[in-house]
Amino acid sequence: MSTFLTDHQYGKQSVRLVHVDRGADRHRLCDLTVDVTLTGDMADSYHSGDNSKVLATDSQKNTVYAFARQFGVANPEALGLRLARHFVDSQPAVSRARVGLVWHGWQPTDDCHSFRRVGAEHRTVTITHDGERSWLVGGVSGLTLLKTTGSEFRGYPRDPYTTLPEAADRLLATTVQARWRYASAEPDAAWDDDFRSARSALIDAFASTHSRSLQQTLHAMACGVLDAVPSIVEVRLALPNKHHLLVDLTAFQLDNPAAVYVATEEPYGLIEGTVARTGAGDPGLAWW
């Protein structure tokens, strides 16, 4: 039988890193999960078990910790860029490195040295470096939004299997999964400010757009990010429709004027889309 290896990659996943910056007046806590994925001239390891070009995943894990100590963790973008470039520059066999980081939020309490965990929402960052160019993709996951009015869904095709009634005013909820591609990956860019602006733009557009469909809302949210952050050239969104259904209370001789709902988990609609600036160019490996 004739075969060939079409693709390969490997790395260390779910490296848990907690970094404490012990400032004189207030401590700063950074809680990250880091994924490292490497690819390159390592086919011999698959073909014959020759590991002479394989950087051990344990070494990758240790590099994450060592870099956190040497350079600190100002933000996930800066740490990810350092790591991705290091793996390519230091290992001749590695032609491409991808570092994904999830920032787990903590907020200080009134005490300057204690914190509380912030829900299911996470800041996300993915950096890809191929030795010549770096691509940086930021994002947010788990951002749950809901509006109690200003949303409708009407005018859709009706076929023999359609039972859904048209809604002139409905409750709309979603959990945002957003990723955005930056035009460049400069180490000194204002990543924290850009993230805050992009997140605020998503929330503002969701709230202010009179939604005739979740698709329309998605487009408005993506355009809001592009308007708010000039350094972002492309936005990808996945918006599950978190259905809230009116409860039928007629069996209890009660009306229900859009007051009592049941929140359902499954099944759900999933709306996805990408909006890019005109002339943004080919993302290449940006989404790899």
Per-residue pLDDT tens over the stretch 29-80: 999 999 999 999 999 999 999 999 999 999 999 999 999 999 999 999 999 9
At residue 104 the predicted structure's pLDDT band, cuts being 50, 70 and 90, is very high
Selecting among 12, 61, 122, 147, the annotated active-site residue is 12
Which are the contacts of 128, defined by CB distance < 8 A and separation ≥ 6? 84, 96, 97, 98, 134, 135, 285, 286, 288
pLDDT at 284: 73
Which are the contacts of 26, defined by CB distance < 8 A and separation ≥ 6? 108, 112, 113
What CATH superfamily is the domain 8-132? Urate Oxidase; (3.10.270.10)
Selecting among 57, 86, 244, 274, the annotated active-site residue is 57
In the residue annotation, 219 being an active-site residue is answered as: no
Please, is 168 exposed, middle or buried when counting C-beta atoms within 10 Å of its C-beta (0-12, 13-18, 19+)? exposed
Q: What percent of the chain has pLDDT over 70?
A: 99
Spell out the domain ranges in the chain. Answer: 8-132, 139-288
Q: List, in sequence order, every residue forming a beta bridge with 244; answer none if it has no partner.
A: 263
Selecting among 61, 122, 242, 243, the annotated active-site residue is 243
Q: Of 181 and 285, which is predicted with more confidence?
A: 181
Let me know if the fold of 8-132 is the same as that of 139-288: yes
Provide the CATH number for the domain formed by 139-288 in this structure. 3.10.270.10
Query: pLDDT at residue 258 above 90?
Result: yes
Helix (H) or strand (E) holding 81: helix 76-90
Q: Which of 48-62, 133-147, 182-196 has the lowest mean pLDDT?
A: 182-196
Instruction: Quickly count: other Cβ atoms within 10 Å of residue 103's Cβ.
Output: 20
In the residue annotation, 12 being an active-site residue is answered as: yes
pTM: 0.93
In the residue annotation, 8 being an active-site residue is answered as: no
Write out the two tokens for 98: 């991808």
Q: List, in sequence order, every residue forming a beta bridge with 181; answer none if it has no partner.
A: 137, 234
Per-residue CA distances from 78 to 29, 81, 175, 248 (Å) = 16, 5, 27, 53
| CA separation for the pair 79, 24 (Å, rounded) | 23
Mean pLDDT, residues 233-244: 97
